[in-house]
Structure 1
Amino acid sequence: MTGFQNQVLSAATAGFLAHWCYFVHGEHDLQAAHIAQTHIVLCILVAGAKGYVEGLTFSNACRETMTLAAIYVGIMMTSIAVYRLFFSPLRRFPGSFSWKLSKLSHVWSMTKPDNFKVLERERQKYGDIVRTGPNEITLFTVEAFHQVYNSQSNCTKSPYYDLLQPMESLDTTRDPAMHTRRRKIWDQFFSVRCKPTPALSLEKQEGLVYSYGDKLVAAIEKRVNEPLDVSDWFEYYTFDLMGQFGMGFDFGLLEGQPNDIHHLYHIAHRNLGPIGAAPWMKHLMMSIPYIERLRSYRLFLQWTTNLLQNKIESKSEIKDVLGYVVEDARRNGGFQAEWRFMMGDLALLIAAGSDPMRLALTNIFYYLVVYPEHLRQVRNELAQIDWRDYKALARLDHLSAVIYETLRLNPPVPAAGLRITPPEGLTLSTAHIPGGTTVLVPQYSLFRGKYALAPPNRLSASLFQPPNLCTASLNEELTRLSVSDPRNFAQPNDFLPERFTTRPELILDEDAYMPWSAGKGQCIGKKLSLLEIRVAVAAVVTRFDVGFAPGEDGTRMFAETVDYFTSTPGPLRLVFKEREAKREAM
């Protein structure tokens, strides 16, 4: 056997051992850049040794080194593929062949960013327990949801939550003790009465929300009788409010002021979203200077750094969430030690402080146009109270039911929350999931029935337009997709707010409804989000009549919904008109 043949054998052996001695054990996402750099250095050293020891020319040394590298990688990848298909503890679970081999297949499917629909299609093919990755199982039952996410669960957060490293936030920290500590910081602002500083409680912030509701109405007044993409304008409302509540910063979007960070956030969100299925890709790309895909993310980080630095230097009175975060860092460890947590919490404010309410409001107005009887009921309730009294507003049953039903049909976090099962695994009534497995339970699929991938069947006429908005082909598709599997909710794909008021029998399993998640990970901003949504709905529907713009039927809003952890709706063009000053009949 020649020397080069021995080298080939050594490369093949090294590839096999690299898999079985290293890659098959533990997590390696955060080390992706280091792993790549180590292999590049080894290739350079091998090429140098070939030139120096064997006397090869530069081109021959490089050619032989590349051959050995290809053999090393080929054997390693073959070993990984064989293991995942035939030896993995998950080998008996059904799922797509390509997804069993690599999460890159999931990344590819996310080129059209509708992850909740992608997972629902997998459910339709394979059932309630689906292998959606080499070491990932997606579950579609209420039992699984509560076992994975409730307060007693021993499941822990997956490497997905390292996506924004080195930033680490209340939501992304994988350390339970750190999560508890940081939640106490946020609780100071999000508690209803905020005992340590009652002037900063949500109860005292209602006036600010109402003032932004007035700004939203003023913006619409300037555009009455014109097609208006409410998906954008509801985002301006929620983004401006997030700026004030979260960091004491007025973005001015409702006043029509362009804002670079708003635009930059969307680009960064869109570029990072697809690679969330394989977090190692982000960590690898961040190690490559000037990579264009992450340029917007780097600029976003620079903006947040500058804002945080200004917040620290201002030493102003605490009036927002970021103020609590900065003050905690000042008292515990100092700014340098706490910098990654401050940056992470600031990024969390921007990501989670606007998108969920934007989605809810856009969908609510879609349903109020499609189902005008519910709009009439909401208006009749509002006519009985002073809607600027939030305590009275929060007690309106039908308004709350409309909100809850909208969140059921369109959950703000439809397919996120990856967890890792404890060493003993997770035992369900129908299966046992091995320990160390990444698991997910998508809310979208729990709240709906099977085949719920399109708008409701009822696409009624706009208040201002004739009813023939839906094409024949779309009607056929809606009919085909109307088959449902009502295990948790009767008529699961229909908009029926009465299930939360007068027809509770439409809820077949009360444990199935948890739009704010459950357990320790339950959304801390629930009360604030409901405050923002109720005020915006009340402010707009008491002032304007609303209907679809010419040619609009809501199809794009559903079809172009983007799902990257939180989801954002597609465009919805509505027309607002001055409302007649009279109370509508029942």
Structure 2
Amino acid sequence: MDLVIRSADAVQVVHGSNSKCTKRGLGTFEIFDWDGGFSLETIMDSDIHRERRRIWDRAQNPQAMAHYEICTRKAVRTWLAKVASVEGEAIEMSKAMLLVAFDNMGQIGFSKEFGATQKGEGTRWIHLMGALLEQIAILGGLTWPTLVARSLEGLGKFGPLKDALEFNDISKDFAHERLDVSTSSLSLRLAENVTNRTQRDDPALHDIMKYFIDDYKSENPKSFVRDTDLYTDTQTILIAATDTSAATLTWLFYYLTIHPEIKSQLVSEISTARSQTAESGEFLDADLAHLPYLNAVINETLRIKPVGGNNSPRLTPPEGIVVDGTWIPGQVQVVIPIWALCRYEKYFERPLDFVPERWTTKPEMVKDKRAFIPFNHGRWSCAGKKLAMMLMRLVVAYTVTDFDFGFAEAEDGAAIVRDTKDVTLVKPGELRLRFTRRSA
């Protein structure tokens, strides 16, 4: 039985840290088993997830975040240079933002330079990420076709599993490139070089993978025990650090374009802050984190176009749960749809209107903050929220103060809405904008 619950009360009951609802037994997450390895997003056991999440959180300590900010600023500078080089020409924003996020992910995730923004084109990896998410969305909760195909030797080389298997191979390559080993078998590596496992990672490579590898190579790993644990969270970095931020940024530029008064107020706030920075004309994310209107614009974009879409399901405990005074039996699959919840008039006044002021001067327009869960909630909430917010703030702050922008010729903003797809994550359609440099 499937039950969709559009209730703020259900958020804590189903996704809260003390919730007894589980991911186990649904089949949805079991299909991601990679020889015993699961990613942060697909781990079903709460204790195992807690250990993995601790490592993810450690990877975003203040020292690490300061280093990542340098990487993110580099990705933003490359984007600004690209815009300047094609000034006045149409830029397709859904693709452009994906390339910016992809370049940023390469640096902070793997210390890897992709150069996608500069080249103006993606890679095979970007195509495979999109194909994988689309296949998951097409199957929905139907898991047996994947299990059957994986169990039949050779069948996975054809049809919808082909891209998934290729994406797995790329994930292995990424992990092993950082491990700097040539064999893919843990047993072979340990047989050939007993000290390899316990040798700490190169301290010069300060990225998210460093923290995974340090645990993996420790004498008593807490979470990254198998090769496949590394592979699966390599995929988490590739997908979660790319598609989510890119989609939100695309929508944000769309809303600024159709609401020039909002864009004007945002530019005014950021320009004032930019003139007061310690280093002339340069922002720190710490500066931007305190700008109320900038963060309101980002939050409103996250609310009205949450990338999480329908969210992932949970199974109620045997004794059931109570939501809004109603008892829901045990062993029921429940879903709290982020998209529907964030756009529900019960919790947000004028829910389909883009109103950043609801997060600043008009707090009465948010009737129940519990319904605002663009990064999900509880123990399985987005581990990369700080990284995503930093990227979005820096991209927006530099872009809107360096350039003005509007619809390109023959663009009316219809395609981004019309062609939006829910492919596990909600991906916007195309948006063609034209940028012109602001006068000094």
Tell me if the contact between 1:355 and 1:567 (Cα under 8 Å) persists in the aligned partners. no
Q: Distance in 2 between matches of 1:571 and 1:206?
A: 28
User: Is residue 176 from structure 1 mapped to residue 46 from structure 2 by the alignment?
Assistant: yes
Aligned-residue offset at 1:272:
3.2
Residue 208 of structure 2 is aligned to residue 321 of structure 1: yes
Q: How many residues align?
A: 404
The separation in 2 between residues aligned to 1:243 and 1:204, in whole angstroms, is 14
Q: CA deviation at 1:337?
A: 4.8
Deviation at 1:258, TM superposition (A): 4.8
Give the structure 1 partner of residue 368 of structure 2.
509
Q: 1:161 aligns with which of 29, 37, 53?
A: 29
| Counterpart Cα distance in 1 of 2:250 and 2:411 | 14
| 1:211 equivalent in alignment to 2:74 | yes
Q: 1:176 to 1:388 in 2, by over 3 A?
A: same
Q: TM-score, normalised by structure 2?
A: 0.87
Q: Partner residue of 1:273?
A: 137
Q: Where in structure 2 are the equivalents of 1:106-117 lying within 5 Å?
A: none
Q: Deviations over 1:274-310 (max 9, x none)?
A: 1132122212222342322211111111121122222
Q: CA deviation at 1:336?
A: 9.8
Matched, 1:405 2:268: no
CA contact (8 A) 2:43 2:49 kept: yes
Superposed displacement of residue 497, structure 1: 0.4
Partner of 1:481: none
- Distance, in Å, in 1 between the alignment partners of 2:53 and 2:225 is 18
Asked whether 1:145 is paired with 2:7, we answer no
Does 246-255 or 276-285 show the bigger shift? Answer: 276-285
Q: Are 1:571 and 2:430 an aligned pair?
A: yes
Quote how far apart the aligned CAs of 1:332 are.
5.1
1:156 is paired with a residue of what secondary structure? coil
Q: Superposed, which structure 2 residues align to 1:232-251 within 5 Å?
A: 232-251=95-114
Q: Distance in 1 between matches of 2:47 and 2:417?
A: 39
- Distance in 1 of aligned mates of 2:302 and 2:211: 30
Shift of 1:264: 2.5
**CA–CA distance in structure 2, aligned partners of residues 163 and 223 of structure 1:** 44
What TM-score do the two structures reach when normalised by structure 1?
Answer: 0.66
Question: C-alpha offsets along residues 56-100 of structure 1, whole Å, 9 cap, x if unaligned?
Answer: xxxxxxxxxxxxxxxxxxxxxxxxxxxxxxxxxxxxxxxxxxxxx
Question: How far, CA to CA, are the matches of 1:362 and 1:519 in structure 2?
Answer: 27
CA distance in 2, matches of 1:577, 1:163: 48
- CA contact under 8 A between 1:425 and 1:434: conserved in structure 2? yes
Q: Offset at 1:551?
A: 2.6
Letter in 1 for 2:327: H
Q: Which runs of 5+ in 1 are unaligned?
A: 1-134, 450-485, 582-586
Counterparts of 2:85 and 2:52 in 1: how far apart (Å)?
A: 42
Displacement, 1:390? 2.2
Question: Which residue in the other structure is 1:479 paired with?
Answer: none
Superposition CA RMSD, Å? 1.9
- Percent identity, aligned pairs only, is 30
Conservation of the 8 A alpha-carbon contact between 2:171 and 2:232: no
Cα distance in 2 between the residues matched to 1:336 and 1:368: 42
Letter in 1 for 2:166: L
Q: Which has the larger radius of gyration?
A: 1
1:174-232 deviation line (CA, Å, top 9, x unaligned): 011110111111111123x2xxxx3xx21333222111111011111122211211110
Q: Is the 8 A contact 2:174 2:234 kept in 1?
A: no
Gaps of 5+ in 2: 182-200, 275-281
How far apart are residue 322 of structure 1 and its match?
1.5
State the alpha-carbon separation in 1 of the partners of residues 224 and 260 from structure 2.
55
Question: How is 1:75-474 mapped onto 2 (pairs within 5 angstroms)?
Answer: 135-157=1-23, 158-166=26-34, 167-191=37-61, 193=62, 198=63, 201-256=64-119, 258-288=122-152, 289=154, 290-313=157-180, 315-317=201-203, 318-331=205-218, 337-386=225-274, 387-449=282-344
Q: Secondary structure at the match of 2:206?
A: coil
8 Å contact from structure 2 (residues 67, 206) kept in 1: no
Q: Does 2:421 correspond to 1:562?
A: yes
Flag the 1:333–1:565 CA change in 2: closer, same or farther, 3 A: farther
